[in-house]
Amino acid sequence: MSAPLPRRIWSWFAQTRVGRSVFRVGPPQSNLERSQAMVSSFLLHVQPAKVSRHALRASYSLGLGLISLYLFFILIVTGVLLMFYYVPSTLQAYDRMKDLQFVISAGLVVRNMHRWAAHLMVLFVMMHLCRVFYTGAYKQPREFNWVLGVGLFLMTLGLSFTGYLLPWDQLAFWAITVGTNIAGYAPVIGPKLKFLLLGGNEVGQEALTRFYALHVIVLPALAGLMVAVHLWRVRKDGGLSRPDLPEDSVQSLPLSQLPTNKSYGLMELARGTTPQVGRDPDDEIFSWPHLIFRELLLFMLVVAVVLFLAIFWNAPLEELANTVHPPNPAKAPWYFLGLQELVSYSAFWGGVVVPALLVTALVLLPYIDRKRQGVGRWFARERAVANTIFSVCLVTAIALTVIGTVFRGPNWSWVVPWQTPPAITEGH
């Protein structure tokens, strides 16, 4: 017996009466069974039976979208666990955070995991967006999936922002005070929107209740649905983007002339954009085990990294929210600090106009930039203009974020981090 024990147990179980009712297919031995393993499993059938080698190249996708998805999973699991103890009340919320830190077994780690996974998810969703841009992957037929992706980016920020208030500490209270006041600057509907968001004129119990409902059900449900459509579209739009083949090689052969050394499923013949049409059999490999193995490996890696961060670094928790004394300086979470830096010049321009323009530009991008050249390669020369414009925006955003994070001290005055800050004069 050369097969490892788990595989032998699986083989035995799969051929029992009960096992067949659960799995249908045992450990795959042939290519046919490898396809069946993918198609007959609910959890696996989302993915194709075969994938192109290009899609598996880690240097192409960097796995950023998948990592974002795994972080989303971690956030759902740890978030549900936190819900068992958290109470969305201004009188209790902060105490519950302290309980999680000091009383509940593993409470600290669960909260830390939730916080670090949230920060990482914002980071990885942003990097995923950059990857898709720099490889020109948003072009036809993937325009709408790019738009969904922009929506998911905003969902991620919204989830992060609503979660930020829940600990009801100084950080939470003042970040939300500033954030909702920015919403109040929107033309015409601003003040009403702010009142609607807060359920009143000030950040208080009503606001906490609303943010809680948004954070634990409204936004996760919407985001989950959008993730499902986003993944489904990746498949329907022909898998991960890849370079166009030279003209002569993409002519689809008539059925009678298809090579006979591979077996075709109906799904492989259905549409012109499926990865299989007009391809050499060598260009693609079976998802089982090549894709599944890589995905599992990446998942374990992501969980390990989040767990590592959660064990060695604690999520910040400042003092109980004090509704009259903002911390000095009062700072938003890092991913909003670029925005806060802009807001320090003008709330209307920095807080409303610039973000609205950026989001509009991102949404319209695939419908404006319609040239086919340079899809599926990093930094393609044909896309030099687009890449330059995007890079300038990106570098500006990073620079503003860095300035807001390390170069701003008390009273939002300019400080140099490696020099001692001037003494704060605070007189009441």
Partner 1 sequence: MNRSPPNANGVSRRGFFQLSIGWLAASFAAAATAVATVRFLVPNVVFEPDQRFKAGAPDDYPDGSVTFLEDERVFVVRRGNSFRCVSAVCTHLGCTVNRAGQGYHCPCHGSAFSEEGRVESGPAPRPLAWFLVTLSKDNRLLVDKGQIVGADKYLVL
Q: Which residues pair with 408 in a beta bridge?
A: 414
Alpha-carbon distances of 94 from 25, 72, 306, 319, 331, rounded to whole Å: 51, 25, 24, 9, 19
Nearer to partner 1, 73 or 195 (CB): 195
Q: Is 174 in the site for partner 1 (CB under 8 A)?
A: yes
DSSP line for 220-278: HHHHHHHHHHHHHHHHHTTSS--PPPPGGGGPPPPGGGS-SSS---GGGTS-TTSTTTT
Which region, judged by CB under 8 A, interacts with partner 1, from 91-99, 111-119, 194-202, 359-367?
A: 194-202
For residues 378-409, b (16+ Cβ closer than 10 Å) or e, as one string?
Answer: eebeebeebbeebeeebeebeebbebbeeebb
Encoding tokens for residue 94? 């902060």
Q: Is 325 in the site for partner 1 (CB under 8 A)?
A: yes
Task: State whether residue 285 is helix, strand or coil.
Answer: strand
Residues 6+ positions from 97 with CB-CB distance below 8 Å: 111, 167, 168, 169, 317
Nearer to partner 1, 85 or 412 (CB): 412
Nearer to partner 1, 251 or 411 (CB): 411
DSSP line for 323-372: SS---SS----GGGHHHHHHHTT-HHIIIIIHHHHHHHHHHHHHHH----
Residues 6+ positions from 11 with CB-CB distance below 8 Å: 3, 26, 27
Q: How far is CA 383 from the centre of its chain?
A: 25
In degrees, rounded to 5, the angle at the alpha carbon of residue 350 between the alpha carbons of residues 346 and 354 is 145
State the nearest-atom distance from the C-beta of 258 to partner 1, in Å. Answer: 43
Q: How far is CA 284 from the centre of its chain?
A: 27
Residue from the set 19, 27, 199, 265 that interacts with partner 1 by CB under 8 A: 199
Nearer to partner 1, 244 or 319 (CB): 319
The site map against partner 1 for 216-245 (x = CB under 8 A) is ------------------------------
State the nearest-atom distance from the C-beta of 379 to partner 1, in Å. Answer: 37
Nearer to partner 1, 37 or 183 (CB): 183
Residues binding partner 1: what is the number (CB under 8 A)? 38
Which amino acid, 26?
A: G
Q: Is 92 in the site for partner 1 (CB under 8 A)?
A: no
Residue from the set 41, 101, 181, 405 that interacts with partner 1 by CB under 8 A: 181
Between CA 272 and CA 237 the distance in angstroms is 10
Which region, judged by CB under 8 A, interacts with partner 1, from 74-82, 178-186, 216-224, 236-244?
A: 178-186
State the nearest-atom distance from the C-beta of 333 to partner 1, in Å. Answer: 14
Nearer to partner 1, 32 or 416 (CB): 416
Dihedral sign, Cα of residue 25, residue 28, residue 33, residue 36: positive
Which region, judged by CB under 8 A, interacts with partner 1, from 25-33, 136-144, 174-182, 388-396?
A: 174-182
State the nearest-atom distance from the C-beta of 344 to partner 1, in Å. Answer: 4
Nearer to partner 1, 312 or 345 (CB): 345
Q: Which residue has 């393609």 as its token pair?
A: 380
State the nearest-atom distance from the C-beta of 172 to partner 1, in Å. Answer: 14
Nearer to partner 1, 106 or 196 (CB): 196
Residue from the set 27, 329, 355, 376 that interacts with partner 1 by CB under 8 A: 329
Nearer to partner 1, 81 or 178 (CB): 178
Which region, judged by CB under 8 A, interacts with partner 1, from 70-78, 379-387, 391-399, 404-412?
A: 404-412
Q: Is 64 in the site for partner 1 (CB under 8 A)?
A: no
State the nearest-atom distance from the C-beta of 208 to partner 1, in Å. Answer: 13
Q: Is 299 left (phi over 0), alpha (psi -120 to 50) or beta?
A: alpha
Interface with partner 1 (CB under 8 A): 174, 177-178, 181-182, 192, 195-196, 199-202, 204-206, 324-330, 340, 343-348, 350, 410-413, 425-428
